[in-house]
Amino acid sequence: MSDYLDRFGRGQSMCHRWPPLAKLLSAIAMILAATCVPIAHPLIGIVACVIFFAHTLARIPLAYVARRLLFFWPPLFLMAISLPLSQSGQTGWLLFATILVRGTLSFSTALWLVNVMPFDQLLATLRRLRVPDVLLAILSLMYRFLFVLWDELDRMRTARAARLFRKPSLWATWRSAAHLLGRLLIRALDRADRIHGAMLARGWDGRSRWIEQPREDRP
């Protein structure tokens, strides 16, 4: 589970060997291109090709990208569908298509970025670019605990399945899913408290202090 997002982050392809800053800037450039070019323009096809070629270059299987996109599309679709419903005529559908295309390309680029550099390297690069500490702390803690929480949810789901002796009704499924999520939220809050305690116990006073790991120590 822990490598769900960045399974190929420590790969050895040509892209992985680029300097970290080059990777970050390439990703930003690709996202800018994807979001600035109008989707009716032929150039958007070229941008899409570049992005998916980048995945091939980094030896990230397209099937892997497609599977991640399957998770990304439903919420994106829900967000975009409101536009044709609220706007009349072609404008609404054009906006709908724009959101889907730009969202897909930006998400694929972000996926490429986290898969061509280990997450700590990404954080270190952002830090060098003077991204505010608070933002970095949020990113770092989110990456660290997303999987812990996911595992916790997984264990609760398994425990529920172990005591489900027949297929529940749709209503019962939704009800127990809501209970699981509620329980997860409470556990997450408790955990946040304990993590804060652990930070205090090692002298944390609200300021981030940080040194970079020497390059030769990295794998």
Partner 1 sequence: MTESQVTSESSAVRVERLSFRYPGGPDVLTDISFTIAPGEIIGLVGPSGAGKSTLLQHLNGLLPSQLPNFVGNVSNVPGQRLTDQVSGGHVGNVPHVVIDNLPVARQSIAEVRRRVGFLFQDPDDQLFCPTVFEDVAFGPLNLGLSEDEARQRVRDSLASVGLAGYEPRSTLRLSLGERKRVCLAGVFACQPGVLALDEPFSSLDPRARRTLIGILKKFPGSQIIATHDLDVVVDLCHRVLLLDAGQLRAAGPTADILGNAALMERHGLEVPWRLR
Q: Is 12 in the site for partner 1 (CB under 8 A)?
A: no
> Nearest approach, Cβ of 199 to partner 1 (angstroms)?
7
Our CB check for partner 1 shows the closer of 74 and 197 to be 197
Per-residue tokens: 35: 């979001």
175 binding partner 1? (CB under 8 A) = no
Tell the smallest beta-carbon distance from residue 114 to partner 1 (Å).
12
Q: Does residue number 157 form part of the binding site for partner 1 (CB under 8 A)?
A: no
Q: C-beta of 149: minimal distance to partner 1 in Å?
A: 10
Using CB under 8 A as the binding rule, whether residue 133 contacts partner 1 is answered as no
Instruction: Report the alpha-carbon distance of residue 148 to residue 74 in Å, rounded.
Output: 24
Site for partner 1 contains 66 (CB under 8 A)? no
> Under rule CB under 8 A, how many of the chain's residues touch partner 1?
33
Residue with tokens 């809050």: 189
Residue partners of 149: CB distance under 8 A and separation at least 6: 184, 187, 188, 191
Contacting positions for partner 1 (CB under 8 A) = 2-3, 118-120, 123, 140-141, 143-145, 147-148, 191, 194-195, 197-205, 209-211, 213-214, 217-219
